[in-house]
Amino acid sequence: MTARVFHLALAHFEAARRLPNLPEGHPARRLHGHGFLVRLRAELPAGWASPGVEEDALKAALAHCIEPLDHRDLNTLLPTPSDENLARWVRDRLALPGRACVGIQSRHDQGVDLDGVGHAHLWRRFRFESAHRLPNVPPGHPCGRMHGHGFEVILHADQDRDDRGVDGDQLAALWAPLHAELHQTCLNDIPGLENPTSELLARWIWVRLASELPGLSWVTVQETATAGCHFDGLHYRIWKEQRFEAALCLRHAPAGDARRRLHGHSYLLRLHLTAPLDQVLGWTLDYGEVKRLFQPLYVRLDHHRLDLLDGVESADPGGLARWIREHIQTDLPELDRIDLYPTPDHGVSLCWGKLGPALPV
């Protein structure tokens, strides 16, 4: 399948707002403020920016776009400056030539993502602390031992698939009984969670909420700092993150650009895979196995000079993601997206399957 490259850029702004659409007495009807985060994923046509440094052009376009929002009263710009309306405002003002997804995160635990076809997915993040063990893993597998996690769950609701609309408080109210069942327990003791993998936990949550929340678009379960699973009622997508430290020269950077010189980054790499559920193990692919299969490539990336890698055309994020895909696709055929961030606020997604939901910061 042909891969699509999405360039990623993040920006922040600080602003005040009132949300008059909320019910009488709701605190957010009063003037209040947030440090907003804007996340942009854009598929850019060739020639839109200098090759290899597209993220710079994207970051500059985003910074220019949100400048009227920073340290302002947002109600002077929009009658109801909700996260969704702000995301639509940013997307319309940016007017990028390719497909663009815009996310607005107003709080650590809440935001809205506009997908590539303009649907607004409200998301809210929750956390619970529990013990579990995976009873069907091979002998000696660490997850067969009793252990525990601070699990994070993100509920995503497609506003365009629910006529009644939904807000973050409704998501919190729907989540509350599940939190009471899951928090500070051993998950294996809960009926239906005898094998509590991220995948089966995401499905269990989906089944409990789907009838009450017709717009539910994804349930995300983040099990550890580096791994988790999305479920949309039919498909499972997992991700596994790795970090590596590397040096490079960007030989194709414009003349005078400092990145033509030798420099370096602490990279974040996120591998996304889509696969059916293994009916015995209750997972798609073991996160640990993804890491193990990636290890031979990891040792070629970590503490190396990336522009000297055999066969790499350009050490920009897109060139590196393509090189990684080429070298791992035989061992990991379920892989369908690679995110590579040289810095926390810019990077690429190379995607040859479904894009899936964005992960909040």
Ligand X SMILES: Nc1nc2c(c(=O)[nH]1)N=C([C@H](O)[C@H](O)COP(=O)(O)OP(=O)(O)OP(=O)(O)O)CN2
What does the binding site for ligand X look like in residue numbers (CB under 6 A)?
134, 143, 197-199, 223-224, 226-227, 238, 283-288, 291
Centroid of chain to Cα 275: 18
Provide the minimum distance between the beta carbon of 237 and ligand X in the complex, in angstroms, as a whole number: 11
CA pair distance 224, 15, nearest whole angstrom: 32
- How many angstroms from the chain centroid is the CA of residue 295? 23
Closer residue to ligand X, CB minimum distance, 38 or 335: 335
3-state secondary structure 218-278: EEEEEEECCEEEEECCCCEEEEEEEEEEEEECCCCCCCCCHHHCCEEEEEEEEEEEECCCC
Measured from the CB atom, the residue of 223 and 316 that comes closer to ligand X is 223
Q: Which is nearer to ligand X, 13 or 341 (CB)?
A: 341
User: Based on CB atoms, which residue is closest to ligand X, 143 or 153?
Assistant: 143
Q: How far apart are CA 78 and CA 90, in angstroms?
A: 12
Q: Which two tokens stand for residue 295?
A: 């290890």
CA dist., res. 181 & res. 151, Å (int): 13
What is the nearest approach in angstroms of ligand X to the Cβ of residue 354?
18
Select 98 or 288, whichever has its Cβ closest to ligand X. Answer: 288
Q: What is the smallest separation between the CB atom of 126 and ligand X, expressed in angstroms?
A: 18
Q: Smallest distance from the beta carbon of 131 to ligand X, in angstroms?
A: 11
* Best CA proximity match to 157, nearest among 116, 125, 189: 125
Q: Decide whether 135 or 233 has the Cβ nearer to ligand X.
A: 135
What is the residue whose two structure tokens read 């009227």? Answer: 68
